[in-house]
Structure 1
Amino acid sequence: MSNSQFRHRWLPLWLAAPQLLLVVLFFYIPIWLAFQWSFTLERPFGGGSEFVGLQNYARVMSDPEFWLAAKRTLIFMLVGSSLAVIVPLILAIAADRRIHLAYPARNVLIWPKAIAGASIGVIFMYIFNPFVGIFAPLNTIWPGIWQPGLDGTDAFIMLIAAHVWGGIPFNFVILLAGLQAMPANLHHSAAMDGASAWRRIIDIQIPMLMPQIFLVFVLEFTESVVSAFSLVDTMTQGGPGGATKLLVYKIYIDGFQGFDLSGAATQSTILMVLVILLAAFQFLILEKKVKYDR
């Protein structure tokens, strides 16, 4: 028996069956139910449903709050995902260059991956507290300069900072692995030709690291839609004044607090389609500029 074959034909399927079952139960079935409910009027406490066609979509699309939440979500995805890739990239380049304390820093930077999103939200609520947090001295000097509980911009910045911090470990590991896989003779040759450290980073490391950068950006971009919920729920609850009510949190509020199951399912379907289109754009347009051969 070769290493690439199984003795029994159905053995691979049986080995994958538990994972496939979880994916079907908690991914495909909810997606199908959300898509089905978006065309019906669901009663909040059971008792049947009524087919209404595209009325739910017309109602949601005519709601200004939906468009505001979608705008905030898009901004969060663009800004948060970009910073969640740029910051680990800088840290990975620094660790790869073996600067002082680079080796212990590699272990420390992985620790946040073990912390749940809700716990991150609680931690950052304390860190960015205007009275006892890191910005408390600034409020003493300039009263009111940092008020995330009252100022929507401050609250949004706090939300993005927590998201970026939580995304550092995974992206850092992927990018550092890509950097360490690069041939060392390229750096030595460039250094002998007189290229500075910055030129070697820009002309050698970044172009050769594009496959890993593209991977972490796509994963971060799509994952940020879901990971934002735990941060919003523990940090701002959508406030102040709805400034941090992202679409995923609005869906939760409408469905589980407002009992608008049809409206929440419709918004979930629209959000899913939006994420699929953005991911398709990344693969069809951006991936063409990525070179996988070295």
Structure 2
Amino acid sequence: MTSESSLFSHRWLPLLLVAPLMLLIVLFFYVPVFQAFYWSFFLERPFGGGSMFVGWQNFARVLSDPEFWEAGRRTIIFMVTASSLSVLIPLILAVAADRKIRMSLPARNVLVWPKAVAGASIGVVFTFIFNPFVGILAPLNAAFPGIWAPGINGTDAFITLISAHVWGGIPFNFVILLAGLQSIPRTMHQAAAMDGAGPWRRIFDVQLPLIAPQLFLTLVLEFTESVTSAFALIDTITKGGPGGSTTLLVYKIYSDGFTGYDLSGASTQTAILMVFVIILTAAQFFLLGRRVNYDR
């Protein structure tokens, strides 16, 4: 085994190499999170000029707000639906690519391309794609007027957000799951086939159990990512409408803080959202993580 002294000439060199990244993490993650938790216990004036300690009053005010609970309900629906599809669809594509069906090799490259597209750009593209007059559903809307109207129908707008999120999440999950499938020894497939297992049986009895670590990783990342990364899509596609039907917690925090100038309320909701994400991640590790076998 290679010793650490043979890799680095000085014991402080590894710390110096990671120092810039750690500095960015502290400045752009831990400091804002700490500031949000701090402001959640104070009544902050929107344009400066001091603050007043109010204790848990901000939490009581936020938790008694029906709009907060409604945004939380929509967030959970979006999180479960979008995250599940963002793992299921790449899994199907990865299984197809691993079997080397026709056009699977060029499809691998094409499926990775959306990773280079920013969330705001995805929102702009899907606004055009799902436009009721010039988008892909325009012929259906012409045949049945009003059947697709994301500008006035909350369900249609929500479907548009989920579709955009799933499309943006395909590349990363596809690469992770395909790498896991390709790391399975071919001898295991051959042995299962010799035992009489068909293609579907091999998927459920051989492949899925062996890529459980990759499935667990993608699920954890997708559940946390769906809670926090939906802002760009909402801001470019729906602006939280129609009638607030697509206002998730992350967008409500922005609206309350930067439009309503309720810094204390927005900070309190940020603290609650952060605690929710921590609990969700811990629950995933507790319920699913210990069932994952990392030894093959």
Instruction: Report the TM range for the smaller structure's normalisation.
Output: over 0.9
The residue number in structure 1 matching 2:267 is: 265
Q: Mapping of 1:219-258 within 5 angstroms?
A: 219-258=221-260
Structure 2: give runs of 5+ residues left out of the alignment: none
Give the residue type in structure 1 aligned to 2:146: G
Structure 2 Cα separation of the partners of residues 256 and 121 of structure 1: 21
Q: Mapping of 1:121-160 within 5 angstroms?
A: 121-160=123-162
The residue number in structure 2 matching 1:31 is: 33
Give the residue type in structure 2 aligned to 1:279: T
**Does residue 98 in structure 1 map to residue 100 in structure 2?**
yes
The residue number in structure 1 matching 2:200 is: 198
Shift of 1:4: 2.2
Please list the CA deviations of residues 221-257 of structure 1 after superposition, one character each: whole Å capped at 9, or x if unmatched.
1111121000000000000110000000000000001
Structure 2 Cα separation of the partners of residues 7 and 82 of structure 1: 47
The residue number in structure 1 matching 2:286 is: 284
Structure 2 Cα separation of the partners of residues 219 and 138 of structure 1: 36
TM-score of the aligned structures, taking structure 2 as reference length: 0.98
The residue number in structure 2 matching 1:80 is: 82
Structure 2 Cα separation of the partners of residues 218 and 239 of structure 1: 28
RMSD of the alignment, in Å? 0.8
Structure 1: give runs of 5+ residues left out of the alignment: none
Q: Mapping of 1:210-221 within 5 angstroms?
A: 210-221=212-223
The residue number in structure 2 matching 1:164 is: 166
The residue number in structure 2 matching 1:4 is: 4
Give the residue type in structure 2 aligned to 1:173: V
3-state DSSP of counterpart to 2:279: helix
Give the residue type in structure 1 aligned to 2:119: G
Structure 1 Cα separation of the partners of residues 273 and 224 of structure 2: 11
Please list the CA deviations of residues 190-220 of structure 1 after superposition, one character each: whole Å capped at 9, or x if unmatched.
1122211111111110111111000011011
Structure 1 Cα separation of the partners of residues 215 and 241 of structure 2: 33
Shift of 1:3: 4.7
Please list the CA deviations of residues 17-65 of structure 1 after superposition, one character each: whole Å capped at 9, or x if unmatched.
1011101100110010000000000000000100000000000000000
The residue number in structure 1 matching 2:47 is: 45
3-state DSSP of counterpart to 2:4: coil
The residue number in structure 2 matching 1:118 is: 120
Structure 2 Cα separation of the partners of residues 3 and 167 of structure 1: 39
> How many residues were matched structurally?
293
Shift of 1:102: 0.2
Please list the CA deviations of residues 72-127 of structure 1 after superposition, one character each: whole Å capped at 9, or x if unmatched.
01111111001000000000000000000000000000000000000000000000
Runs of 4+ displaced beyond 6 Å? none
Structure 2 Cα separation of the partners of residues 34 and 248 of structure 1: 14
Question: For structure 1, which segment, 5-14 or 252-261, has the greater mean C-alpha deviation from structure 2 after superposition?
Answer: 5-14
Give the residue type in structure 2 aligned to 1:90: I
Give the residue type in structure 1 aligned to 2:291: K
Question: For structure 1, which segment, 242-251 or 10-19, has the greater mean C-alpha deviation from structure 2 after superposition?
Answer: 10-19
